[in-house]
Amino acid sequence: MIRRLYKTLLSVAVTSMLLFGNASAQDSTATAAAPAAGGDIAAGKTLFENNCKSCHNPDGEKLTGPGLKDITKRRDLAWLVKWIQNPMGVIASGDKYAVDLYNQYNKTQMTAFPALKEADVQNIIAYIDDYNTPKVAAPGTTPVTAAETGGGGFTSVIMIALIAIMALVLVALLAILRLLTKLAGVDTASTDSVSAVNFGEKVKEIFGNKTVRSAIIWVFILLAVKTTLDGLYGIGVHQGYAPKQPIKFSHKLHAGDMKINCAYCHTGVYKGKQAGIPAANICMNCHNAIKTGSPEIQKIYTAIESNKPIEWVRVHNLPDLSYFNHAQHTNVGGLDCTNCHGEVNKMEVVQQRSTLTMGWCIDCHRKTEVNGKDNKYYDKLMEAHSKTSKGAMKVEDIGGLECSKCHY
Instruction: Identify the residue among 238, 254, 271, 346 touching ligand HEC (CB under 6 A).
Output: 254
| Residues facing residue 322 across a β-bridge | 407
* DSSP-assigned letter for residue 32: T
202 versus 266: smaller Cβ distance to ligand HEC: 266
Angle at 371 between CA 369 and CA 374, to 5 degrees: 155
Where in 164-289 does DSSP place strands (E)? Answer: none
Helix axes 2-29, 152-184, angle to 10 degrees: 170
3 versus 82: smaller Cβ distance to ligand HEC: 82
* DSSP-assigned letter for residue 254: I
Residues 52-71 that bind ligand HEC (CB under 6 A): 52, 54-56, 64-66, 68, 71
Backbone angles phi, psi at 109, to 5 degrees: -90, 125
7 versus 62: smaller Cβ distance to ligand HEC: 62
Residues 6+ apart with CB under 8 A from 329: 335, 340
We find the least distance from the C-beta atom of residue 85 to ligand HEC, in angstroms, to be 10
CB 180 within 8 A of CB 202: yes
Stretch that binds ligand HEC, among 147-155, 191-199, 324-332, 380-388 (CB under 6 A): 324-332
Site string for ligand HEC, 2-41 (x = CB under 6 A): ----------------------------------------
Query: CB under 8 Å, gap of 24 or more: what pairs does 314-317 form?
Result: 315/241, 315/242, 315/243, 315/350, 315/351, 315/352, 316/341, 316/352, 316/356, 317/238
213 versus 366: smaller Cβ distance to ligand HEC: 366
Helix axes 152-184, 196-208, angle to 10 degrees: 110
Residues 70-129 that bind ligand HEC (CB under 6 A): 71, 74-75, 80, 83-84, 87, 101-102, 105, 108-111, 113, 116, 124
We find the least distance from the C-beta atom of residue 367 to ligand HEC, in angstroms, to be 8
**What's the number of CA atoms in the CB half-sphere (13 Å) around residue 125?**
23
Residues 6+ apart with CB under 8 A from 283: 300
We find the least distance from the C-beta atom of residue 276 to ligand HEC, in angstroms, to be 5
Residues 326-365 that bind ligand HEC (CB under 6 A): 326, 328-330, 332-333, 335, 337, 339-341, 344-345, 350, 356-358, 360-362, 364-365
Instruction: Identify the residue among 73, 94, 403, 408 touching ligand HEC (CB under 6 A).
Output: 403
We find the least distance from the C-beta atom of residue 225 to ligand HEC, in angstroms, to be 16
200 versus 359: smaller Cβ distance to ligand HEC: 359
CB 310 within 8 A of CB 247: yes
CA atoms of 365 and 382, how far apart (whole Å): 16
Residues 264-323 that bind ligand HEC (CB under 6 A): 264-266, 269, 274-278, 282-283, 285-287, 290-291, 294, 296-297, 300, 312, 314-319, 322
We find the least distance from the C-beta atom of residue 165 to ligand HEC, in angstroms, to be 25
CA atoms of 195 and 197, how far apart (whole Å): 6
Instruction: Identify the residue among 251, 385, 393, 397 touching ligand HEC (CB under 6 A).
Output: 251
Instruction: Identify the residue among 176, 181, 249, 393 touching ligand HEC (CB under 6 A).
Output: 249
27 versus 348: smaller Cβ distance to ligand HEC: 348
